[in-house]
Structure 1
Amino acid sequence: MKRLVCTFMLLMWADASYADVKVGVVLSLTGPAASAGLLEQKALAMLPKTIGTEAVEYVVLDDATDTSTAIKSARKLIVENNIDVLVAATATPTSFAASTVADEAQVPQIALAPFGIGILKWSFITPPSFATFAKAVVADMSRRKIKKVAFLGYADALGQIWLEAVTAAAAGTDVKIELAERYNRTDTSILSQVLRVVGAQPDAVVVGATSASAAEPQKALVERGYKGPIYHTQAAATKEFVRAAGPSAETAILPVSLPIVAEALPDDHPSKARALEFVRTYEAANGEGSRNNFASHLWDAGLLLEAAVPVALKTAKPGTSEFRKSLRDTLESIRDLKVSNGVVNMTAEDHYGYDDRAAALARVEGGRFVLAK
């Protein structure tokens, strides 16, 4: 397994006797989700250099957007590097795969992608849940008096969870998903699925794909004459999507993380200051307009660690099972923590911790994301 990002240590002291907090990070730096993973990689330098009295050591591995590799990477970090916390991973399937290892090894995980197959005791998720964004999507459909909906998305965990989330949010409303077309991330053509969707003449289409890959169904639907609104997941709201979709992006409606539309948030939104802080820091390093959902999720993982590690240090030293358990318990007890994606209130039943204030809808105007109206 190739370590694409070298271990880096940011030390307050030169004395190696101090116990560093070890953070294992698994990202999709290659493979189908690399367009998102590479954006997260750019946020690594924004993670805290020290927390409390301890320096922080980060070890980063590539999972190649492969669940088996994600599992191997997580195990390697836990067994060989004796990490205190696992930050993993870029995609929904790989995040869930890594969570099974974290749960088995009793190492806290901060996931960078949402997954909806229950909540494992040791896993916490920085993006808002699919359910949170699905509620916002269905509310917008109801406002537009949309009833007949078609789904077009990945035939994997992300596609299934997004389909289930929208279906659940639509329960009890006039919105009905009457057709679901699925495809593999590696398929070279989705023309047959697109034609079936267009032929069904839905009032709206919900796409379950990510980043630049979501541009393929967006463009294909528009090119085949579909004129209704096309809703996406939050994972599609990237510059890569806008660039790849071209003019067709103007018909897209996308749930977004708060930093994407930070300036347009109401001044009294509790996370506006954090969202703006992320935008200023990230764009100072990566250029104007470079903000994205994925990097904000990694930055928020750092905020969770800054809140939890000092408390856990009162119980035990890093590198011990006692420290890892204390860190897990502290993460679960976090209350009213303002991060760039919302306000976090974790409980034993909710390891996302967000409410409806974490959801925003955007559209594309002049190549930029603006709040949808």
Structure 2
Amino acid sequence: MQRSLAAFTRPLRIAAAVLAALAAGAAQADVTIGISLPLTGPASGLGIPMANYIKLWPKEIAGEKLNVIVLDDATDPTKGVNNARRFVTEDKVDIVMGSAATPVAVAMAPVVSEAKTVQFSFSPAVLPPGADGWMFRLPQGNAVMAHAMIEHMKKQGVKTVGFLGYTDAYGESWLKDFQDQSSLLGGPKIIATERFARSDTSVTAQALKLVSANPDAMLVVASGSGAAMPEKALVERNYKGKIYQTHAAATRDLMRIGGKDVEGTFVVSGPAVIPEQLAADHPSKALATDFVAKYEKVYGAGNRNQFAGHAYDAIVVLEKILPVALKAGKPGTSEFRAAIRSATEAMGRTPVAHGVLNYTKANHWGFTTETGLVLKVVNSDWKVEQ
């Protein structure tokens, strides 16, 4: 009887083992994405809106489940590196995203590149020549946005500029790109340069020096809610010229914290935050409208956010590249990771909420000079400059 029972149950055990193996295989086939964001620290105003939109992501793409792991890097490059190491060694991710803080994204890059895994940076991170073979940027590059800003300055008659920006990679790359683009375009000259740390609570000394230089315009390079403080310092020191902010400041936090001191400010931006003001034939009109509708349905009217828009665009990119990459390999394999890079480099002209992307092997920045818009703060709201 025991022998007969064993003979009967053996096929059941085999069937159970086969089903378990199939289930494990299905789990391994999930597309795993590791995301490092500054959910705390000075750049949390960038990371939190991105995390908010990531919660709205679809559960699967091309029939494959998305397994999304979000970690806080606290705006700290060391924590970002630790997150990247965990993603590529423990979680065996297919894609890394982040950080929204440029210094953190830069620090993560060597770890992700060594693992031969694509990194979609949520910041315009600048790497040494030849070091960005596995990094693609989802935000617009500083050079592209500087192009739009400089053309606007020229129309405004601006000849001289004072620079007040972060001491870190974001600030320094903006300074270099602005100077390079201005030289190419015959734009204004920077006549005074002052810097400050993201964690600084006052820039009084820097503001006094810049105001005394009396440039036609000031370029403030800061991000999120932190962009209001340096501008307020300039206004409080009786600066009367034009003030420009970068695309990292294209958030309502600038107006919420800056109040009347930021009225009239010019902010370069992608089109995602003002779909109502885009022409009907603008390539980003439909996508920007879709982004705003989805985001504000959950988070409230008027809460659209530049940084959340990049998280929306990430899905637009994934929906285009993952079906292609899946033809070359299964999730969790080196073949699949390599195919993701190849598919991204070959995806062609792709409208997103923030403009038009066209990555190539030689260009991992994607956006073209048609992308940038200049917004003006009018009555605590955005108005597109023509």
- Which bracket does the TM-score occupy, shorter chain normalised? over 0.9
Q: Give deviations 1:138-195, integer Å, cap 9, x for gaps.
A: 1111111111111001111011011111111110415100111011112232100000
How far, CA to CA, are the matches of 1:291 and 1:99 in structure 2?
29
How far, CA to CA, are the matches of 1:370 and 1:145 in structure 2?
20
Report the more deviating stretch, 174-183 or 191-200: 174-183
TM-score, normalised by the number of residues in structure 1 = 0.94
What's the % identity of the aligned pairs? 39
2:5 corresponds to which residue? Answer: none
- Asked if residue 237 in structure 1 is aligned to residue 250 in structure 2, the reply is yes
1:286 corresponds to which residue? Answer: 299
- Asked if residue 89 in structure 1 is aligned to residue 110 in structure 2, the reply is no
Count of matched residue pairs: 360
Alignment of 1:278-357 (within 5 A): 278-357=291-370
1:162 corresponds to which residue? Answer: 174
How far, CA to CA, are the matches of 1:163 and 1:215 in structure 2?
19
2:142 corresponds to which residue? Answer: 130
Residue of 121, 133, 142 corresponding to 1:111: 121
Q: Give deviations 1:105-154, integer Å, cap 9, x for gaps.
A: 10011111112234611111111110111001111111111111110011
1:17 corresponds to which residue? Answer: 25
How far, CA to CA, are the matches of 1:17 and 1:318 in structure 2?
10
Post-superposition offset of 1:23: 0.5
Report the more deviating stretch, 363-372 or 176-185: 363-372
Post-superposition offset of 1:304: 1.1
1:258 corresponds to which residue? Answer: 271
User: Relative to total residues, which structure has the larger helix share, 1 or 2?
Assistant: 2
- Asked if residue 148 in structure 1 is aligned to residue 160 in structure 2, the reply is yes
How far, CA to CA, are the matches of 2:214 and 2:285 in structure 1?
39
Post-superposition offset of 1:372: 2.1
- In structure 2, runs of 5+ residues without a counterpart are 1-21
How far, CA to CA, are the matches of 1:103 and 1:325 in structure 2?
11
Confirm or deny: 8 A CA contact 1:150 1:204 kept in the other structure.
yes
1:200 corresponds to which residue? Answer: 213
The root-mean-square deviation of aligned C-alpha atoms, in Å, is 1.3
How far, CA to CA, are the matches of 1:338 and 1:142 in structure 2?
28
Post-superposition offset of 1:251: 2.8
- Counterpart of 1:348 in structure 2: which amino acid? K
Q: Give deviations 1:52-98, integer Å, cap 9, x for gaps.
A: 12111001111010111101101101111010000111111111112
Q: Give deviations 1:291-334, integer Å, cap 9, x for gaps.
A: 11111111111111111111111111100011000111101111
1:274 corresponds to which residue? Answer: 287
1:223 corresponds to which residue? Answer: 236
Confirm or deny: 8 A CA contact 2:202 2:230 kept in the other structure.
no
Post-superposition offset of 1:16: 5.0
- Counterpart of 1:286 in structure 2: which amino acid? Y
TM-score, normalised by the number of residues in structure 2 = 0.91
- In structure 1, runs of 5+ residues without a counterpart are 1-13
1:363 corresponds to which residue? Answer: 376
Confirm or deny: 8 A CA contact 1:260 1:293 kept in the other structure.
yes
Q: Give deviations 1:229-270, integer Å, cap 9, x for gaps.
A: 111110001111111100011131001121111111111111
How far, CA to CA, are the matches of 1:285 and 1:251 in structure 2?
30
Confirm or deny: 8 A CA contact 1:87 1:301 kept in the other structure.
no
How far, CA to CA, are the matches of 2:126 and 2:362 in structure 1?
13
Post-superposition offset of 1:17: 3.4
How far, CA to CA, are the matches of 2:315 and 2:59 in structure 1?
10
How far, CA to CA, are the matches of 2:317 and 2:73 in structure 1?
23
Larger radius of gyration: 2
How far, CA to CA, are the matches of 1:161 and 1:174 in structure 2?
18
- Counterpart of 2:157 in structure 1: which amino acid? K
Secondary structure, counterpart of 1:90 in structure 2: coil
- Counterpart of 1:94 in structure 2: which amino acid? V
Report the more deviating stretch, 346-355 or 276-285: 346-355
- Counterpart of 2:135 in structure 1: which amino acid? S
Confirm or deny: 8 A CA contact 2:201 2:229 kept in the other structure.
no
How far, CA to CA, are the matches of 1:313 and 1:188 in structure 2?
48
How far, CA to CA, are the matches of 1:249 and 1:188 in structure 2?
18
Secondary structure, counterpart of 2:174 in structure 1: helix
